[in-house]
């Protein structure tokens, strides 16, 4: 059975023999390795933006003048 993978967002640069990532890049790693990178502060969990956020439903209201 295939190992589960987790999407992460890199906070700092990361490179290996088969990959190179810059801060802000989104990558998919095996769950164990992703957890290790998150714990070390090299990455953070990826959170997908849902359709309501894309549509601007959570946009702050403009301030009214007095």
- CB count within 10 Å of CB 30 equals 13
Among the listed residues 5, 9, 3, 1, the one whose alpha carbon sits nearest the alpha carbon of residue 48 = 9
Over the Cα atoms of the chain, what is R_g? Answer: 17
21 vs 59: CA distance, rounded Å: 31
DSSP assigned state of 61: P
Predicted local confidence at residue 54, as pLDDT: 58
Tell me what percent of the residues of the chain surpass a pLDDT of 90: 62
pLDDT at 12 over 80: yes
């Amino acid at each position: 059975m295939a190992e589960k993978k987790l999407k992460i967002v890199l906070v700092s640069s990361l490179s290996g023999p088969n990959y190179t990532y810059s801060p802000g890049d989104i990558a998919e790693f095996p769950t164990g390795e992703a957890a290790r990178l998150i714990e070390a502060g090299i990455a953070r969990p990826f959170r997908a933006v849902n359709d309501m956020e894309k549509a601007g439903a959570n946009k702050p209201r403009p301030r009214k003048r007095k």
